[in-house]
Amino acid sequence: MGLLDIIYPRVCPVCAKPVRRDYLLKGENNNIPKDIGMEKLICPHCYNRLPFIKPPTCLKCGKHIEDGTKAYCADCDEKDRPFEKCISIMDYSDEIAGRMMWDLKYKNRREYADLLALIIAQKNAAQIVSWRCDALVPVPVHPSKRKSRGYNQTELVANRLGELLDIPVKPQVLIRARKTVPQKGLDADARARNLKSAFAPGEEACPKRVILLDDIYTTGATMRVCTDVLLASGAQMVFGICCCAGSN
């Protein structure tokens, strides 16, 4: 443990206390990967409490589905999804995941982005690499929101994931052209109206094969609108990665 870890200890996103790595030394039973530095970002025993999405999952959006005989969730069965496939990691309806994403976005817990990127890579690296994509494109926030917050949480995750998987991150391929109200609490139709003309092509050329990275997938409105812009800008295939997925 370094001096900075002692003076400014990492806060566990589950128990909200300084990360306790002594559990590793005691040999406590846990499933945390011990070879990629994740034990510095979350208590090993708290890792077991993370609400990972369990199979079966929708082959399109990555949400959990109750009926294992079906390939798609009800939403993806009924609605057109222009992206190829989306991977989602945690169940957003769980209180732990909801609080973790809130703290990342609004309480300056930027270190949670490192943990999320490590989990995504550890669980899905082979699949992501198999997509053979040219770039990671984070869903942008409006410049006014970035200025007040100081960062775009999705871009933080993308930057770390890009380092881990050696995929270029291109945040200027897509821009937020219009400020919108928060999506939380809106139904599917209201979300679609809220995002109309909200995104536009940026100054960077759009690659042919793109991974679009967002923090939360609920109705799929953001993923759909951003994918439409990317396809219109020259992308041939768009895949998605979301930190969490669940109901609104």
193-234: per-residue pLDDT in tens? 667 778 999 999 999 999 999 999 998 989 999 999 999 999
> Alpha-carbon distance 45 to 31, whole Å?
8
> Alpha-carbon distance 78 to 135, whole Å?
29
Q: Report yes or no: 238 and 212 within 8 Å, Cβ to Cβ.
A: yes
61-77: per-residue pLDDT in tens? 999 998 888 999 999 99
**Which residue, among 130, 143, 198, 149, has the nearest Cα to 171 in the 3D structure?**
143
Helices 95-106/111-130 angle, 10° precision: 110
Concatenated DSSP letters for 32-66?
Answer: --SSSSGGGTS-HHHHTTS-BPPSSB-TTT--B-S
Q: Report the predicted TM-score, pTM, of the whole model to 2 decimal places.
A: 0.88
